Amino acid sequence: MIELPIIGSLLEAAGTILEKKVLRNNKMNSKNYATYEFLAIVIVMAPFIYFFWHIDKSAFLLKNVLILAFVIIVSVFANLLIFYSLKREKVTEFEPIWLMQSIFVIIFAFVFYKSERNWILFGLAMVANIALILAHVRKHHLVMNKYILAALFGSFLFAVELVASKLILSFYNPFAFYFIRCFFILLICYVAFRPTGSDLNKKTSWMIISIGAMWAIYRAIMYYGYQNLGVVLTALLFVLSPVFVFIFAVVFLREKPDWRQIVSTAVIVVCVLLAIFYKDIILFLGIG
């Protein structure tokens, strides 16, 4: 189901824009926002969890429980760093650093998982990601401040979390795994920050609920991709997210693209099409 990660990339693009819109509110603390977002995710997922609940007994082995605990703790710090950065940085400043997450994921997966060591897919994924980053970087982006460093370290931690998750994903339904992850992150954030809700209004609350729904579907799709398509190919397909943002900006906002964005978009689309074509051939021949 190659289409699912492409849908996921659309959700990622929309979710990031909405997050920035909520965080732009001066009353909204990034730590409180983390609690609200994970509460929204849990609320959105709760009515459906019965239908997707599946945990293999192997998940309860001490080794796998410790891996889950590691994933949750790393996720807490990754989210807090990303929200801290996104609260203060413009999306155009934040995005080039956030894009490093995909690079980290691809490299870690290629190094640590034998099943991911396909040089063709690895090469296509790296070319697409490097093209994307080069299209977004400007001279003023190279000035590192604490918010940019927070985004960089947060991206690194997200990559660590995602690659570590692959070790235990096979023991869970992807939807159930994300629900468990978010439920424990919510508990940690609530105990640590104890938000009162005074910085929320009806409009903001519904926006956060919408974001929660997007991230729930997005992560379930990502985990499905990791299980069925592999980490590297899934990461490559999710590179389409910034491409969709670019296309929407040109079509709906009448923004004028520069030559680097056009070349980058073309390179990414070609890399994705080649990867899909290559995967189809492998499946047809029955050697992958």
The number of C-alpha atoms within 13 Å of 17 and in the hemisphere containing its C-beta is 13
Q: Encoding tokens for residue 185?
A: 């992150």
Amino acid (one-letter) located at 163 = V
Better pLDDT: 110 or 287: 110
Question: What are the residue ranges of helices labelled H in the chain?
Answer: 3-23, 30-45, 49-52, 62-88, 91-98, 100-112, 119-136, 146-165, 174-193, 202-228, 231-238, 240-252, 259-285
- In the three-class reduction of DSSP (H, G, I as helix; E, B as strand; rest coil), residue 55 is classed as strand
For the stretch 212-258, pLDDT in tens is 999 999 888 888 888 888 888 888 888 877 777 667 666 765 667 77
DSSP 172: B
pLDDT of residue 89: 60
pLDDT of residue 284: 47
CB-based contact 93:141 (threshold 8 Å): yes
Domain span at residue 235?
3-285
pTM given for the model: 0.82
For the stretch 249-274, pLDDT in tens is 667 656 677 777 788 888 888 988 88
Mean pLDDT value of segment 14-41: 84
Average pLDDT, the chain: 84
For the stretch 30-63, pLDDT in tens is 899 999 999 999 999 999 999 999 999 999 999 9
**Does residue 170 surpass a pLDDT of 80?**
yes
Into how many domains does the chain fold?
1
**Does residue 141 surpass a pLDDT of 60?**
no
